[in-house]
Chain A
Amino acid sequence: MEVLRITNLSKTFDGVRAVDGLSFGVEEGAITALIGPNGSGKTVTFNLITGFYRPTGGEICFKDTNITRLAPHKIFNLGIGRTFQNIRLFPQMTVLENILLGLKYNSGESLLAAIFRTPSMLREEKENMQKAIALLKTVGMENKRDEMAENLSYGQRRLVEIARTLGTDSEFYLLDEPMSGIFPNMIPQLLSIIKQLRSSGKTVLFIEHNMKVVMDVSDRVVVLNHGKMIAAGTPAEIQANEAVLDAYMGKRRMRAS
């Protein structure tokens, strides 16, 4: 079953077509990789899905809801969590605060709960604190919990952002180059996190340049070039696809296999 369906999507910046009549679907409960040469429109597609860009044309449906022109926070609340290619943490807040912000609060984030310090808010805060620490442990960052996010290294910030997004408990995760800047020894850990998401029934769509990673974890691969989909299929099919090889020719050889 498809959880996300993109139909004839396009986005133009000052006359340049970054995404040009793009159509593809994402299978529920699967890991799909979105690949393509630089400038092929992968990140723009992410920003269109999550409402950060307004499409010039086309339609995006998540399950049965048309989300094409919804505000980003509403799209999030339907169950779509994301990370950013250039990492967007809250720099002058601690690592722990960054994680807490991603967690679900039922009543705790309201004004009255803040002024009256309601017991339900305090309880929620306590529970979330435990969850946040557990999340930091999964990415090996628990000893940095009180550090300001701006003082972390690039790779550490990437890990914190991933942990924050994991904490949102979304149904559908969009991860923009989750492995980039990560120390190689953390990569197996991240891969197992992504696979765990799949085994708990979540859907993952991720952008990745490292073909080894793509071939290792994805169930399906969607290939973009010049804002269009040029191929889609299993990793094995994609490796054998002529159009894909042409697209990468002269830019980046496929290194896997």
Chain B
Amino acid sequence: MSTFSSLPQPNSRFFFASALSAILGIAVDRLVYLPLRKNNAPGLVFLLASFGVFIFIQNLLQLIYGAQILTLRTGPVVEGHQIASAVITDIQILILAASLILLAALWLVIDKTKMGKAIRAVADDTVGASVSGINPEKVILYAFGIGSALAGMGGVLVSLETNIEPTMGMNAILKGIIASIIGGIGSIPGAVLGGFSLGIVENLGIWKIQAGWKDTIAFAVLIIFLLLRPEGIMGKKTDRDKL
């Protein structure tokens, strides 16, 4: 509990965490994914390597901080606001507002800036993009930086509401993947929709059955989507041709 108290105040912690995440993300890309891209490695190799990175970092955190649960409370527990039959706390409002601002910023960057256009071009067709004068490696570097910084900020926001432990990452990754598949990969409104839908379905589900079934519900939803609508709610329906 005292681990973080030596650090500066909440706002600067926020930026410290996201900067650290961005650096870590870029470092992993340079050390692991860049050589794999150069080897023209297949998808499964990337997947396994990223699992390796994940396992390594998670256990490094466990080695440093121990497996115990840390709490990051910024003030005394206060009563929330009553809205209809729901209760929402100040912190929850803060998390919601911060998420919306970050989303809007991400959407602006991806949709309006030159770098955003370059990111989309590389995602769409790497060779085509590099022919038209975009340096894919530079773009990937930025994408990793932005993506990792956002993940870091997401981590801080989560820690305001719940306890933190080294193993919390797995769940976040999985829920993130599930939400983006439900919403449609490559679509920011889809990601928002997917995230909210998943949260709502999970929590409606455990309203009737025990809370432990949350993951089961999430993965059941994922499998249903994979089988029936793999392109997600907002994703473009790709031609299901084989060649």
Contact = CB atoms under 8 A, between A and B. Distances in A.
A13 B243 contact: no
Contacts of A53: 241-243
A134 B241 CA distance: 36
A13 B239 contact: yes
Nearest to A51: B242
Nearest to B236: A14
Most chain A C-beta atoms within 10 Å of own C-beta, residue among B239, B240, B241, B243: B243
Interface in A48-69: 52-54
A52 B240 contact: no
Interface in B208-243: 239-243
Interface residues of B, number: 5
Interface in A40-94: 47, 52-54, 72
Interface in A146-190: none
A47 B241 CA distance: 10
User: How would you classify the secondary structure of chain A's contact residues: helix, strand, loop or mixed?
Assistant: loop
B239 A52 contact: no
B242 A72 contact: yes
Overall SS of chain B's interface = loop
Nearest to B240: A54
A165 to B, nearest CB: 17
Contacts of B241: 47, 52-54
Contacts of A14: 239
A54 B239 CA distance: 9
Nearest to A54: B241
A51 B63 CA distance: 55
Nearest to B239: A13
Contacts of B243: 47, 52-53
A47 to B, nearest CB: 6
A76 to B, nearest CB: 13
A193 to B, nearest CB: 26
A54 B243 CA distance: 10
Interface string A10-52: 0001100000000000000000000000000000000100001
A72 B240 CA distance: 14
Nearest to B241: A53
Contacts of A13: 239
Nearest to A48: B241
Q: Closest 10 CB pairs between A and B? A: A52-B243, A53-B241, A52-B242, A47-B243, A54-B241, A53-B243, A13-B239, A52-B241, A72-B242, A54-B240
13 contacts: A13-B239, A14-B239, A47-B241, A47-B243, A52-B241, A52-B242, A52-B243, A53-B241, A53-B242, A53-B243, A54-B240, A54-B241, A72-B242
Given A47-B243, A52-B242, A54-B241, 10 more contacts: A13-B239, A14-B239, A47-B241, A52-B241, A52-B243, A53-B241, A53-B242, A53-B243, A54-B240, A72-B242
